Amino acid sequence: MASILDIATQTEGFSTLVAAVQAAGLVETLQGPGPFTVLAPNDEAFAKLPPGTVQTLVQNPPQLARILKFHVVPGRYTQAQLIELGTAVSAEGATIPIRGDDGFEIKNATVLAADIEADNGIIHVLDRVILMG
């Protein structure tokens, strides 16, 4: 099996996420032993951000890293476990609301694909970038 980052790199639709992880200096972290639960926005999710947002974030690695860490939960959590918890604390330190009553939603994003297994964790694909606050 591959690492979370290897899966993102080898899967179509995650080029923006991979580039953001590289720009934020988080490659080694996401290739590390984990385990991590990664809430992975796809390329379409990043495209929904206001024009110029991604470029601005790439030019500000600390802010970009903070946003990306909001998409990572320490530990390996399946869809069922996350729904049962109702919230999760991100690697950034903020609490993320989770709903499972009408589909599977994380904060204001819908999960498009859940429970993608990796050597060092699990991936849930989001239809939008989630932001703190």
53-101 confidence digits (pLDDT tens): 989 998 999 999 999 999 999 999 999 999 999 999 999 999 999 999 8
Distances (CA, A) of 33 to 30, 87, 97, 114, 122: 8, 24, 26, 20, 12
Calculate mean pLDDT across residues 37-42: 98
Q: What's residue 97's pLDDT? A: 97
The domain spans of the chain are 4-126
Type of residue at 3: S
Q: Are strands 109-118 and 121-126 parallel, antiparallel or unpaired?
A: antiparallel
The pairing of beta strand 72-74 with beta strand 109-118:
unpaired
Q: Write the class of the CATH domain 4-126.
A: mainly beta
Q: pTM higher than 0.75 for the full model? A: yes
Q: Is the pLDDT assigned to residue 133 strictly greater than 90? A: no
Residue (of 67, 72, 86) closest to 120 by Cα position: 72
Q: 3-state class of 40 per DSSP?
A: strand
pLDDT at 115 over 80: yes
